[in-house]
Amino acid sequence: MGERKQDKLLNIKTVGIREWKDSKSQYNRYEATPYKALEVLCENYKFKDAYRVVDFGCGRGRVSFYLHNRFQIPVTGIEANQKTYEEALENKALYRAKAEHIPAPIEFNYGLAQHFKIDEKDNCFYFFHPFSVNIFRKVINNILRSVEKHKRTVDLILYYPIREYRDFLKTSTPFEIINTMKVPGGTDKDEIVIIYRLREEVLNEEEEDCLNIG
Ligand SMILES: C[S@@+](CC[C@H](N)C(=O)[O-])C[C@H]1O[C@@H](n2cnc3c(N)ncnc32)[C@H](O)[C@@H]1O
């Protein structure tokens, strides 16, 4: 089924691209995750365990609507482009007209991902190549600070993960890859979804090691 037809099933409009005016910006353009990538992800990952999914750079909200509709879980998106954010809100009104029976909330926030205050229960974070690795590093450090304060297992979902993101996670964080999925029909090697996990036990072990050294 085509992207527009899938949008129609959710009663939303997310097809298209929006470039930033400044092409050298650290912020990447809007383009939605393909539905075929969301399908492969949802067949291989247990969203039911998510307290809330946060989409950093949510665009017009496709990922939020799709997950909310399929799993009836709370979702939130953060978007830095005002026009795109307004389109996400318009989509929410259209979507909700047909999905008012699902009690879980959908929220969109206008602002920068690196300034977003992570809720102590947020445990699933989605990224489709939204910004430079410098900003990605800040967002991941915010997540790490949150889990140090409120210990819990958290997952990162990366669609189309660029090499710099992967290198940073590998060399500078305790996240581990738990699954890699190839998107069917994908034409280039980056058309994959990678799930990274940081387990609560690892955080507790790290704390015990610090106490033992101290
Ligand atoms: C490739 S799109 C992904 C859209 C959506 N996550 C999806 O997968 O369908 C990246 C989005 O991130 C937004 N973005 C870029 N930099 C951002 C920042 N610093 N904070 C929040 N959003 C940002 C862009 O405006 C764009 O809409």
Q: Is 65 in the pocket of ligand 1 (CB under 6 A)?
A: no
Q: Is 59 in the pocket of ligand 1 (CB under 6 A)?
A: yes
Q: Is 87 in the pocket of ligand 1 (CB under 6 A)?
A: no
* pLDDT over 90 at 209, yes or no: no
What is the rounded distance in angstroms from the CA atom of residue 114 to the CA atom of residue 136? 8
At residue 22, the pLDDT reads: 80
At residue 136, the pLDDT reads: 98
At residue 24, the pLDDT reads: 66
What is the rounded distance in angstroms from the CA atom of residue 90 to the CA atom of residue 84? 10
pLDDT tens-place string over residues 130-172: 999 999 999 999 999 999 999 999 999 999 999 999 999 999 9
For β-strands 106-110 and 75-79, DSSP reports them as: parallel
Q: Is 78 in the pocket of ligand 1 (CB under 6 A)?
A: yes
Calculate mean pLDDT across residues 118-122. 96
Under the banding of pLDDT at 50, 70 and 90, the label for residue 25 is confident
What separation in Å is there between the alpha carbon of 195 and the centre of ligand 1?
A: 19
Q: How many domains does the chain have?
A: 1
The CATH code of the domain that includes 195 is: 3.40.50.150
- Token code pair at residue 179: 């699954």
Q: Is 84 in the pocket of ligand 1 (CB under 6 A)?
A: yes
Hey, which of 13, 24, 58 would you mutate to test ligand 1's pocket, going by the most ligand atoms within 8 Å of its Cβ? 58
Asked whether 66 and 38 are in contact (CB, 8 A), the reply is: yes
What separation in Å is there between the alpha carbon of 90 and the centre of ligand 1?
A: 17
This prediction has a pTM of 0.96
pLDDT tens-place string over residues 62-90: 999 999 999 999 999 999 999 999 999 99
Atom from ligand 1 closest to the CA of residue 81? 25
DSSP 21-75: SSTT-SBPPEEPPPHHHHHHHHHHS-GGG-S-EEEES-TTSHHHHHHHHHH---E
User: In the predicted model, what is the mean pLDDT of the chain?
Assistant: 95
- Check residues 50 and 98 and name the one with the higher pLDDT: 98
Percentage of the chain with pLDDT > 70? 99
What is the rounded distance in angstroms from the CA atom of residue 125 to the CA atom of residue 195? 10
- Structural domain harbouring 10: 3-213
Calculate mean pLDDT across residues 165-189. 95
Instruction: Count the helices and strands in the chain (H runs, E runs).
Output: 7, 9
At residue 18, the pLDDT reads: 95
What separation in Å is there between the alpha carbon of 32 and the centre of ligand 1?
A: 9
Percentage of the chain with pLDDT > 90? 87
